[in-house]
A = this chain, B = another copy of it.
Amino acid sequence: MGLKIVFLPYQVEAEVYEGETVIDVAMRVGIHINASCGGVGSCNKCKILIENGEVLGEKIEDIFYKACTAYPKTDLIVRVPAESLYDRRALLRRSRAKSLDLKWDKLPEPVLKKHYLELIPPTIEDNTPDLERLMSTLHSAGLKDFHIPSGVLSTLPYTLREADFKVTVSSAWDPFHRVEIITRVEAGDRRATNLGVAMDLGTTTLQLELIDLNTGETLAVTSDYNPQISYGEDVISRIEFARKKDGLKLLAERIRERFAVLVEELLKEAGKSPEAIGAVAIAGNTVMTHLFLGLEPRFLREYPYVPVAKFYPTYFSQELGLPLRENTPIYFAPSVASYVGGDITAGVMASNIAKEPQLTLFIDLGTNGEIVVGNSDFLMCAACSAGPAFEGGGIRCGMRATSGAIESVSIDPVTFEPMILTIGKKRAKGICGSGIISLLASLFRVGLIDRAGKFRRDLNIPRLRQGEDGFEYVLVFKEDSATGQDIVFTENDIENLIRAKGAMFAGYQILLESVGLTLSDLDRVYLAGTFGSYIDLEDAVTIGLLPDLPREKFFFLGNTSLQGAKKMLLYREKVEELYRVAQMMTHVELSTHPKYMDYYMATLFLPHTQEELFPSLKGGK
């Protein structure tokens, strides 16, 4: 049973989640409390009065507590002081997408199967060679068509004789060639150990899980930055880097090395040996997949944007120089086009869109923005040239979502004073994606910017000023920042963001129109990636990044790319489904679509030129 806080004068009651301070709860439920140090406890602005109950925290001016350091010990009645304006407008509607659990409770039928066989040992009457003896026993056990890589032969005679011709044979389904491959023969009964590694191969981050393929259980997780970042932050700059002498080789080596290190971490955490890993599944965008495989990415970028492959053959560990047992299969989720990759096909598979009749809009907004519209009948997809704005790229004080990044913002509608919270409650270094959306929405909501994204010029407040790049809003003054510099948000930043959200929104419209539908036909919106979990729906709708649909139609799915990679390992039918998804997906090239430019131009307002597309916002401010 969680504690509760009632915020006065708003009469808003909210639950307290574990580890939350009073300001965390307030931000979450939309109660504005001035705060400019990000929650560090240094700005002394977030004064609250505890009218009832007890907190553990720092007092200020005898009677107040700092909301950012106050941890509820009992249920509380908290009054937000008059300075913070007694106005219902400070009460924002807040809503998050519902989380959708993609786990599947079906019993695993893993892509890598282990078969325990008791061969009849040879005699002089039957001295059939080892390989043929193994093959005929496999035949008898029901495995009819299979391929045996020659590497299996090297150890076969020893393995067979180690445990008196009792062996465990691993067979992997190769969806590319549609054949079963014998990947390993082990002495004795080794069915109990069957692990797999799933990886979301992101442009920015790598997320890995070590999975027990017998149970579906996750034994260890880890993540890290993609080390290729040093050679280029986004896919385009990496493609450029790959053109340098040995550039491609270098990029491939870096990512494979890091993968190896992370697998080692997983194994250490779970107390397992590399031998235990029987298969690996990787889902990444087309460029990242090409780079992992050392495939030329250049033509992905050059007109007419041709990938080397859509369906990747199954690779084996030694072909990629990975320190796993020889012939460990490495599966890559298939791509659709240059900028719609395996992370998306894996995500669509993981979220069952293609198995259900509901019309779904699937949005993966990471370093790039990819969208899918469809259901069990059809799947349309597109890449939106949104750029990395929503990850902080191209934004003056933008930064990645790491410690010290402002992740949520609220602005007082009268004083225009901000309330900010940073990741890790550190002094602010910059603004990350969620902070940016929240900031843009707040500025628009309180009227500091107009529908074109231009700041009001008639106010005389220190936070609004002419800066180097034109007009800007000072979110954190240098006294409170970690950098010793003002953290500002410029009209340029806003322009970039409007273009980015516009590219996304026009994408939704084109995809729907290409099948004769509109936004209102959507049964649900699936938000993939971390994006889906942190953004506030109201903020995102307010700026026109998400369509204005009933909020209960929104679901956040978490890392669907990783989920898809896991399902590839755990369920053979999911591998087939993934291939079907990739086959089904029709790619729409937005940049050359005849109507795209019109749609796009119309999005370059907040929330949109056509206000009727955003009915819930009317009169909202």
What residues of chain A have their CB less than 8 Å away from a CB belonging to chain B? 122-124, 127-132, 147-151, 153-154, 156-158, 161, 176-177, 179, 293-296, 298-299, 303-316, 319, 335, 337-338, 589, 592
A335 nearest in chain B by CB position:
B129
> With A and B bound together, what is the CA distance between A132 and B582 in angstroms?
13
> With A and B bound together, what is the CA distance between A362 and B378 in angstroms?
66
Cβ–Cβ < 8 Å partners of A147 in chain B: 177, 179
**Given A308-B130, A589-B124 in contact, is the A313-B157 Cβ separation under 8 Å?**
no
Contact B124 A296 (CB under 8 A): no
Cβ–Cβ < 8 Å partners of A304 in chain B: 122-124, 127
A307 contacts which of B129, B308, B315 (Cβ < 8 Å)?
Answer: B129
How near does chain B come to A320, taking the closest CB pair, in angstroms? 9
Contact A310 B127 (CB under 8 A): no
> With A and B bound together, what is the CA distance between A592 and B125 in angstroms?
10
Of A307, A315, A337, the most chain B CB neighbours within 10 A belong to A307
Contact B308 A157 (CB under 8 A): yes
A151 contacts which of B122, B132, B150, B319 (Cβ < 8 Å)?
Answer: B319
How near does chain B come to A455, taking the closest CB pair, in angstroms? 40
A310 contacts which of B129, B293, B319 (Cβ < 8 Å)?
Answer: B129
> With A and B bound together, what is the CA distance between A315 and B311 in angstroms?
24
How many copies of this protein are present in the complex? Answer: 2
**Given A127-B337, A335-B129 in contact, is the A153-B305 Cβ separation under 8 Å?**
no
How near does chain B come to A99, taking the closest CB pair, in angstroms? 35
**Secondary structure class of chain A's binding surface, majority of residues:** loop
Contact A307 B130 (CB under 8 A): yes
Q: List 29 A-B contacts (CB under 8 A).
A: A123-B304, A124-B303, A124-B304, A127-B338, A127-B589, A128-B306, A129-B306, A129-B307, A129-B310, A129-B335, A130-B306, A130-B309, A131-B308, A131-B311, A132-B309, A132-B311, A147-B179, A148-B176, A149-B313, A150-B293, A150-B312, A150-B313, A150-B315, A150-B316, A153-B293, A153-B312, A154-B294, A157-B295, A158-B296
A309 contacts which of B153, B296, B316, B335 (Cβ < 8 Å)?
Answer: B153
Of A147, A309, A314, the most chain B CB neighbours within 10 A belong to A309
Contact A124 B592 (CB under 8 A): yes
> With A and B bound together, what is the CA distance between A592 and B124 in angstroms?
8
A157 contacts which of B148, B177, B296, B316 (Cβ < 8 Å)?
Answer: B296
How near does chain B come to A516, taking the closest CB pair, in angstroms? 21
A129 contacts which of B123, B161, B308, B314 (Cβ < 8 Å)?
Answer: B308
A131 contacts which of B132, B161, B309 (Cβ < 8 Å)?
Answer: B309
Cβ–Cβ < 8 Å partners of A295 in chain B: 153-154, 157
Of A299, A303, A314, A589, the most chain B CB neighbours within 10 A belong to A299
How near does chain B come to A129, taking the closest CB pair, in angstroms? 4
Contact A313 B127 (CB under 8 A): no
> With A and B bound together, what is the CA distance between A130 and B290 in angstroms?
13
> With A and B bound together, what is the CA distance between A128 and B129 in angstroms?
45
> With A and B bound together, what is the CA distance between A592 and B308 in angstroms?
59
Cβ–Cβ < 8 Å partners of A151 in chain B: 319
How near does chain B come to A119, taking the closest CB pair, in angstroms? 11
The 4 nearest A-B residue pairs measured at CB:
A131-B309, A129-B307, A124-B304, A150-B313
Contact A310 B131 (CB under 8 A): yes
> With A and B bound together, what is the CA distance between A337 and B127 in angstroms?
8
A313 nearest in chain B by CB position:
B150
**Given A124-B304, A304-B122, A304-B124 in contact, is the A153-B589 Cβ separation under 8 Å?**
no
> With A and B bound together, what is the CA distance between A349 and B319 in angstroms?
36
Cβ–Cβ < 8 Å partners of A313 in chain B: 148-150, 153
How near does chain B come to A293, taking the closest CB pair, in angstroms? 7
> With A and B bound together, what is the CA distance between A315 and B129 in angstroms?
18
> With A and B bound together, what is the CA distance between A298 and B299 in angstroms?
52
Cβ–Cβ < 8 Å partners of A157 in chain B: 295-296, 298-299, 306, 308
A131 nearest in chain B by CB position:
B309
Cβ–Cβ < 8 Å partners of A179 in chain B: 147
How near does chain B come to A450, taking the closest CB pair, in angstroms? 38
How near does chain B come to A288, taking the closest CB pair, in angstroms? 16
> With A and B bound together, what is the CA distance between A184 and B313 in angstroms?
15
Starting from the known contacts A127-B589, A130-B306, A151-B319, 6 additional A-B residue pairs (CB-CB under 8 Å) come to A124-B592, A129-B308, A129-B335, A130-B307, A156-B308, A158-B296
A174 nearest in chain B by CB position:
B147
> With A and B bound together, what is the CA distance between A186 and B403 in angstroms?
52
A286 nearest in chain B by CB position:
B129
Contact A305 B177 (CB under 8 A): no
> With A and B bound together, what is the CA distance between A233 and B381 in angstroms?
67
> With A and B bound together, what is the CA distance between A287 and B101 in angstroms?
58
Cβ–Cβ < 8 Å partners of A592 in chain B: 124
A337 nearest in chain B by CB position:
B127
> With A and B bound together, what is the CA distance between A127 and B306 in angstroms?
5
**Given A132-B310, A310-B132, A311-B132 in contact, is the A127-B305 Cβ separation under 8 Å?**
yes
Cβ–Cβ < 8 Å partners of A296 in chain B: 154, 157-158
> With A and B bound together, what is the CA distance between A149 and B128 in angstroms?
30
Of A127, A132, A337, the most chain B CB neighbours within 10 A belong to A127
> With A and B bound together, what is the CA distance between A158 and B243 in angstroms?
13
> With A and B bound together, what is the CA distance between A336 and B543 in angstroms?
76
Cβ–Cβ < 8 Å partners of A153 in chain B: 293, 295, 308-309, 312-313
> With A and B bound together, what is the CA distance between A592 and B127 in angstroms?
13
A177 nearest in chain B by CB position:
B147
Cβ–Cβ < 8 Å partners of A303 in chain B: 124
How near does chain B come to A337, taking the closest CB pair, in angstroms? 7
